[in-house]
Amino acid sequence: MRVRWVRTAAWVVVVASVGLSVVLASRFGADPNLVQSPLLGQQAPMLELPALDGSGLVTVPTGDGTIVVVNFFASWCLECRLEHDDLVAISDGFSETVRMAQVAYQDDPAAANQFLDDLGRSEHTVYLDDPGGRASIAFGVFGVPETYFIDGNGVVVGKIQGESNALLLGQTIDAIRRGEDPGQQVVGDVQSGPEG
């Protein structure tokens, strides 16, 4: 037996989903002048950095079939603060299929840890320090927040520049899982340093 369930609600779901995207998207600005990241389509740089909690050196494996998300953040970055809950939710939601790392960019480890103490951590994310800016240079980070997506083959296939959100992060991961290259998405401004 089959019956079409609540047809009237179907269009509402579509409108609502679009509406939510619009509402979320409307929170962002966009800078079309920013150039495409040269890292897209390239093998991801090796990510071996000290843990922010001082527990030692951490290597984030790539190219082992698991999607890796690398977010650069800083305690002095307002947009990073605004997107943090979304990153935690995505890390928790995709914990079985995605590996997430958040790297403190041009930040004092104590301040970065305080930022995480205030806003919360995902138990599925590794939080890393970046002394000397090695990782941020290797990834070509211009400012924060920036989020890179590495496919299961270790290739950088996506980048979100600016304040992200759960819907956008999730859509990007979903696209990668379908074998697509989401490319670069500029959704807002980034801050290159504590002074903006």
Determine contact, residues 182/151, Cβ cutoff 8 Å: no
Name which position in 9, 78, 110, 137 contacts other proteins (CB under 8 A).
Answer: 9
Is 173 near other proteins (CB under 8 A)? yes
Q: How far is the CB of 80 from other proteins (least distance, A)?
A: 15
Is 2 near other proteins (CB under 8 A)? yes
Q: How far is the CB of 21 from other proteins (least distance, A)?
A: 9
- Pick 19 or 131: Cβ nearer other proteins: 19
Task: Specify the stretch interacting with other proteins by CB under 8 A; choose among 28-36, 58-66, 93-101, 148-156.
Answer: 93-101
Name which position in 38, 54, 62, 94 contacts other proteins (CB under 8 A).
Answer: 94
Determine contact, residues 116/71, Cβ cutoff 8 Å: no
Q: How far is the CB of 26 from other proteins (least distance, A)?
A: 10
Task: Specify the stretch interacting with other proteins by CB under 8 A; choose among 11-19, 36-44, 107-115, 143-151.
Answer: 11-19
Is 180 near other proteins (CB under 8 A)? no
Question: In the complex, which residues of this chain contact other proteins (CB under 8 A)?
Answer: 1-17, 19-20, 23-24, 85-86, 89-90, 92-94, 97, 165-167, 169-171, 173-174, 177-178
